[in-house]
Amino acid sequence: MFKWLEKNLPKIVLAPAVGLISWFVYGFVLWTLYISFTNSKILPKYELWGVGQYVKLWASRKWLISVDNLLVFTALFLIFCIVIGIILAIFLDQKIRAEGVLRTIYLYPMALSFIVTGTAWKWILNPSLGIQKMFIDWGFENFTFNWLVDREMAIYTIVIAGVWQSAGFVMALFLAGLRSVEDEIVKAAKIDGAGLFTVYWKILIPMMRPVFFTSFVILVHISIKSYDLIVALTQGGPGISTTMPALFMTQAAFHKSQVGLSAASAMMMFMAVAAVIIPYLYSELRRENAS
Amino acid sequence: MQAKTSSSNYKQLEQKSRYTNIFLRWFLYFVLILFASYFIFPLYVMVVTSLKTMEEIRQGTLLTWPSGLNFDAWAVAWGGRGYGAGDTFLKPYFWNSLKMVIPAVFFSTFIGAMTGYVLTKWRFKGDSWVFLFLLFGCFIPFQAILLPMARTLGALGISNSIIGLVLVHTVYGIPFTTLFFRNYYVSIPTELVKAARIDGAGFFKIFFKILLPISAPIIVVTVIWQFTQIWNDFLFGSTFSFGEAAPIQVALNNMVLSSTSVKEYNVDMASAIIAGIPTLIVYVLAGKYFIRGLTSGAVKG
């Protein structure tokens, strides 16, 4: 008995983690998947109903707006975060004075919650006393900036706040990537007569492919899950113009008693994340095995 | 003669490239400072707004410097106005968050350390599959587990309680803490462990005497990561708790959204700063470890 215990001790110690994750991650996802095939309303029902919830989901105007917003948000969020992140990383890599201070400033939003960020930006962007008033008081009397209350433009305020929060993170990833390149490579290129611009454009940036890939995955992941920021900034409004899948899911589940429908929307989000993450994990694992 | 021209040409060229260099340097600093002001702007606005009276807010602009150090809004945000119903303030929720964060960080870090230790130093057939199995938990969108989690907490009788939130945060922190410790221990030579085993040291003795003493950096990274994640969480907090058991982010959101007759932006901003200050302090004091957590949590999948 004691021998057996000693021999299997490592596996026994592993058991809590594996058990908890099996139950709370895999078990729960399967439960949600099952419920998405039932006609559950306020409470879960367990008789199967087929793909009705998915049909309902994709016929729902609100869901379609959510998906549309998600695509717009993700595209802009990705582009701005990556472009700003690369520019800042390359510029900071030029033996800048006070690099530490600047880096700290670029990255501190990552330490704040999206609720704090959203609260701050909501105040800055509010039309009556925020940026709009600032410019009017400065003498630009016809200046208007009311995106926050404009159905067409409100989604872009979420982009502004989201980029503000996450661009520094991309900067940190690229800076770490650039710093890990051997000095020899850059020196050799310079001896061959390449200018600084060519060194970056032709050599260093192409070498950053894994960093691009990582940033892409992380940012898409953040944007699919984005919930807090929208709650704090617009609550999905004006109307439902800035609603997103994560918001749709919680509202259907906890406010509208559409448990089946919310499970279906959660599974759509799950599949979207899986489509991005599985290739990523696969390639990371292959790289690790190769090295 | 020939040599002379080329050398003076060269000098000219050098002169020219010096001017472009100086210009480029200025441009570089200009762009960097421009972005720095974009990033600092909201924090500046938050701080100055929280120090103004509503009268000052209406008269000035976002950037106007406050007339004095007026902490009234802070006092209201932290301790309320002193009348009964409907007077929400952050103090009780701040303690809620602390009571939730401390045990959740401790348990998830401990489980992650043990799991990472087994997966690297007591390897067995299929251990990398177990790692992958756990790792996937880092990436699931939590919407896919909200419904069954709500029912489970109800069945356990701990819905709308701090204990419930501790459980949730511990469980969903395990994939990350395991990732951190596993990647750290994998770089520590296994010979150390093998030698100790030959000397007769057991499973726990090896962990506590050999690995734990050299784990300080990764413990710091993990604790900071978990602290930031859990303190800043809103999804779990708002789904599984309401009223008195809510963590601070939920309380902040409720305070800002509650529609009283007059919007008090100074109190809103003071509240936002109070909710953000613990993680900001950690970031300023231990930025290096914070960034290491961010990048290794992300880069090494």
Using one digit for the tens of pLDDT, what is the confidence trace for B227-275?
Answer: 999 999 999 999 998 788 899 999 999 888 876 656 788 899 999 999 9
Q: What's the pLDDT score for residue B79? A: 86
Instruction: For chains A and B, count residue pairs whose Cβ atoms are closer than 8 Å.
Output: 255
| B81 — pLDDT class (breaks 50, 70, 90) | confident
CA distance B79 to B159: 27
- Kindly report, residue by residue over A109-122, the tens digit of the pLDDT: 999 999 999 999 99
CA distance B185 to chain A (A): 15
Q: What's the pLDDT score for residue A271? A: 94
Instruction: For residue B291, give the amino acid letter.
Output: I
Which of A107, A134, A267 is opposite residue B144, by nearest beta carbon? A267
- Kindly report, residue by residue over B275-286, the tens digit of the pLDDT: 999 999 999 888
Q: Domain extents for chain A?
A: 53-290
CA dist B17 → A31, B7, B11, B22, B294 (Å)? 67, 15, 10, 9, 39
Q: What's the pLDDT score for residue B55? A: 84
Tokens of A267: 């599974």
- Average pLDDT of the segment spanning B197-210: 88
CA distance A206 to B131: 31
Q: What's the pLDDT score for residue A59? A: 94
Residue B247's contacts (CB-CB under 8 Å, 6 or more residues apart) are B93, B96, B97, B100, B165, B233, B237, B241
Of chain A residues 127-186, which have a CB less than 8 A from chain B? 129-131, 133-134, 137-138, 164, 168-169, 172-173, 176
Of chain A residues 52-81, which have a CB less than 8 A from chain B? none
CA distance B137 to chain A (A): 6
| B62 — pLDDT class (breaks 50, 70, 90) | confident
Question: What is the signed CA dihedral for A109, A112, A117, A120, rounded to 10 degrees?
Answer: -90
Q: What's the pLDDT score for residue A144? A: 80
Tell me which CATH code domain B91-299 carries: 1.10.3720.10
- Kindly report, residue by residue over B16-52, the tens digit of the pLDDT: 677 878 888 889 999 999 999 999 999 999 999 999 8
Q: Do B272 and A111 touch (CB under 8 A)?
A: no
Which of B272, B291, B300 is opposite residue A116, by nearest beta carbon? B272
Residues of A in contact with B202 (CB under 8 A): 6, 9
- Kindly report, residue by residue over A8-28, the tens digit of the pLDDT: 888 899 999 999 999 999 999
Residues of A in contact with B262 (CB under 8 A): none
Q: What's the pLDDT score for residue B281? A: 94
Q: Do A285 and B271 touch (CB under 8 A)?
A: no
Interface contact A251, partner B, CB < 8 A: no
The answer to whether residue A269 scores a pLDDT higher than 50 is: yes
CA distance B234 to B275: 12
Strand partners, A48: A38
Q: What's the pLDDT score for residue B2? A: 47
Q: Do A124 and B42 touch (CB under 8 A)?
A: yes
CA distance A281 to B128: 12
Interface contact A123, partner B, CB < 8 A: yes
With the C-alpha atoms ordered B133, A282, B221, B206, is the resulting torsion angle positive or negative? positive
Q: Do B171 and A20 touch (CB under 8 A)?
A: yes
The answer to whether residue B287 scores a pLDDT higher than 60 is: yes
Q: Do A105 and B40 touch (CB under 8 A)?
A: yes
Q: What's the pLDDT score for residue B61? A: 82
Q: What's the pLDDT score for residue A151? A: 86
Residues of A in contact with B283 (CB under 8 A): 107-108, 110-111
The answer to whether residue A201 scores a pLDDT higher than 60 is: yes
Q: Do B31 and A91 touch (CB under 8 A)?
A: yes
C-beta of residue B93 within 8 angstroms of C-beta of residue B247: yes
Interface contact A222, partner B, CB < 8 A: no
C-beta of residue B164 within 8 angstroms of C-beta of residue B158: yes
The answer to whether residue A103 scores a pLDDT higher than 50 is: yes
Strands, E, within A131-177: which ranges?
A: none
3-state secondary structure at position A113: coil
Listed ranges A22-36, A221-235, B15-29; the one with the highest mean pLDDT: A22-36
CA distance A86 to B126: 39
- Average pLDDT of the segment spanning B111-134: 91
CA distance A240 to chain B (A): 17
CA distance B273 to B43: 9
Cβ neighbour number for residue B163 with a 10 Å cutoff: 16
Q: What's the pLDDT score for residue B11? A: 65
CA distance B1 to chain A (A): 27
Which of B172, B239, B299 is opposite residue A254, by nearest beta carbon? B239
| A195 — pLDDT class (breaks 50, 70, 90) | confident
Residue that the structure tokens 């279906």 belong to: A264
pTM: 0.90
Exposed (0-12), middle (13-18) or buried (19+): which is A11, by Cβ within 10 Å?
middle
- Average pLDDT of the segment spanning B79-102: 84
Residues of A in contact with B142 (CB under 8 A): 225
3-state secondary structure at position A126: coil
Q: What's the pLDDT score for residue B86? A: 64
C-beta of residue B284 within 8 angstroms of C-beta of residue B276: no
In 3D space, the residue among A211, A233, A210 whose CA is nearest the CA of residue A159 turns out to be A233
In 3D space, the residue among B224, B248, B132 whose CA is nearest the CA of residue B173 turns out to be B224
Exposed (0-12), middle (13-18) or buried (19+): which is B220, by Cβ within 10 Å?
middle
- Average pLDDT of the segment spanning A132-138: 84
Q: State the DSSP string of A16-78.
A: HHHHHHIIIIIIHHHHHHHHTTB--SSS---SB--SHHHHHHHH-HHHHHHHHHHHHHHHHHH
C-beta of residue B240 within 8 angstroms of C-beta of residue B168: yes
Percentage above 70 pLDDT, chain B: 90
Return the HEC string of chain B.
CHHHHHHHHHHHHHHHHHHHHHHHHHHHHHHHHHHHHHHHHHHHHHHHHHCCCHHHHHHCCCCCCCCCCCCHHHHHHHHCCCCCCCCCCCHHHHHHHHHHHHHHHHHHHHHHHHHHHHHHHCCCCCHHHHHHHHHHHHCCCCHHHHHHHHHHHHHCCCCCCHHHHHHHHHHHHHHHHHHHHHHHHCCCCHHHHHHHHHCCCCHHHHHHHHHHHHCHHHHHHHHHHHHHHHHHCCHHHHHHCCHHHCCHHHHHHHHHHCCCCCCCHHHHHHHHHHHHHHHHHHHHHCHHHHHHHHHHHHHCC
The answer to whether residue B6 scores a pLDDT higher than 60 is: no
CATH architecture of the domain A53-290 equals Orthogonal Bundle (1.10)
Among A111-115, A123-127, B62-66, the least confident range: B62-66
CA distance A134 to chain B (A): 5
Among B24, B26, B27, B32, the residue to mutate for chain A (most A Cβ within 10 A): B32
